[in-house]
Structure 1
Amino acid sequence: MLSLLALCAAPVVASYFTFYVIKPSGSAYGELITPTVDLPADLPLTDLQGRAVAAESLKNQWLLTVVQPAACPEACERQLYVQRQLREMLGKNRDRVDKLWLIPDDGGMPRPELLSALSQKGVEVTVLRVPGARLQAWLKPEAGKALTDHFFLVDPMGRWMMRAPADPEPKKLKGDFDKLLKASAGWDNAGR
């Protein structure tokens, strides 16, 4: 009888031991932003043709965001490539993530060949212009880094909630995305 009681009590004892002695803690490769920062409703966004885009239209989808100038030097192209690959690595969850390129300047257009390369497989990158000062009031780089060094993740409710380290390891960053997408599967739907 005592062995049966010990067998039934073992999971309860193990859970208390784990919680109070081992103290498991979650960790992320990217930096979780606490508290999250809401997408400003009055953020002045325009598309490449100069048409106004409501910030509200960016909600209801995870946004894997990069901030790069329109000239897009080699480091920018590499970051846009990694952005595309990260989304593709998500497999069946890739439709829950949109790619967003924010251009923090007023002049210049990205090269047409770059824009066409970004639209492979029918999945385009949303490219929007935003005044640099307003962008820096919303997204913040790591100390000693620039906005162009990071990927920023915005949740479907329009809150900036994660910043990837500069030059991230895609496999580790994908691990963070997998955890977030799994945790949000009950309330998040694919597509805006």
Structure 2
Amino acid sequence: MSKTPGKHQKIIILLIFLITLGPFGFAYTLYKKGNKAQLKLNNHGDLITPVINVEKNQAISGEQLLGKWWLVYVGPKNCRLECHDMLYNLKQIRTALGKDTPRVERLFIAHPNCDKSVCETFISDNYPDMKRITMPLADFNQLFAGLSQHFEREMVGEVYIIDPKGNLMMRYSADSQARDILSDVKRLLRTSKIG
């Protein structure tokens, strides 16, 4: 004597079906909606995909960058208070890393059209341990083309992270909070065994 499934058994079968296929339906809905805000990862900066290997750029020697993480500040055309604040914040971020401080260095890339004597003097007076690079306008534009708005880069500058393999892999606008950059750097150092 076989009994037909009761109401309770039908509910259990329906629940098993929903539990199995529910996540696929949810993922499909998110994919079709294209809601990037809901899909954003824990990082605060913008991931650069694909990463850009800076060794290919003549002005930046990859050998000097390999083996360490780099906080890179691409300076604006005119270094004003915002520029000075960001340089100070990068110093503080590195200091806040504690025992991981030796794994991270700082790099200033001057905008090709800035007054280099002012930039160089300010940085050498206030941040003598910060590495500095200048590059021709064509190389500068080629390296940073497509990563951000030209206007933003010229006016306020930007922050990038270079990994120990020489890859430009994360970008922050100049109005990013230092605590957000610090949070991302700490996460990178915690999860990375290189550098």
Report Cα offsets for 1:139-166 as digits up to 9, x if no partner: 2443462264310111010100000133
Query: Could you state the TM-score of these two structures normalised by the residue count of structure 2?
Result: 0.69
Task: Give the corresponding residue for 1:8.
Answer: none
CA distance in 1, matches of 2:183, 2:176: 12
CA distance in 2, matches of 1:111, 1:158: 24
The alpha-carbon deviation at position 111 of structure 1 amounts to 5.2
Task: Give the corresponding residue for 1:30.
Answer: 45
Task: Give the corresponding residue for 1:149.
Answer: 157
Distance 1:75 1:146, change over 3 A: same
Q: Which residue, 131, 140, 145 being the options, matches 1:135?
A: 140
Decide whether the 8 Å contact of 1:104 with 1:131 is kept in 2: no
Give ranges in structure 1 of 5+ residues lacking alignment. 1-15, 46-53
Structure with a larger share of its residues in helix = 2
Q: Which residue, 35, 59, 65 being the options, matches 1:44?
A: 59
Q: Which residue, 175, 178, 181 being the options, matches 1:170?
A: 178
The alpha-carbon deviation at position 177 of structure 1 amounts to 0.8
CA distance in 1, matches of 2:50, 2:158: 19
Secondary structure in 2 matching 1:66: strand
Distance 1:79 1:71, change over 3 A: same
Percent identity over the alignment is: 23
Give the number of the structure whose alpha-carbon radius of gyration is greater: 2
Distance 1:111 1:35, change over 3 A: closer
Secondary structure in 2 matching 1:78: helix
The alpha-carbon deviation at position 71 of structure 1 amounts to 6.1
Secondary structure in 2 matching 1:164: strand
Matches within 5 A, 1:48-67: 54-67=61-74
Secondary structure in 2 matching 1:86: helix
2:130 aligned with 1:125: yes
Secondary structure in 1 matching 2:91: helix
CA distance in 1, matches of 2:40, 2:110: 37
2:112 aligned with 1:105: yes
CA distance in 1, matches of 2:84, 2:131: 15
Question: How many residues were matched structurally?
Answer: 159
| Two-structure CA RMSD over aligned residues (Å) | 2.9
CA distance in 2, matches of 1:25, 1:170: 19
Secondary structure in 1 matching 2:67: coil
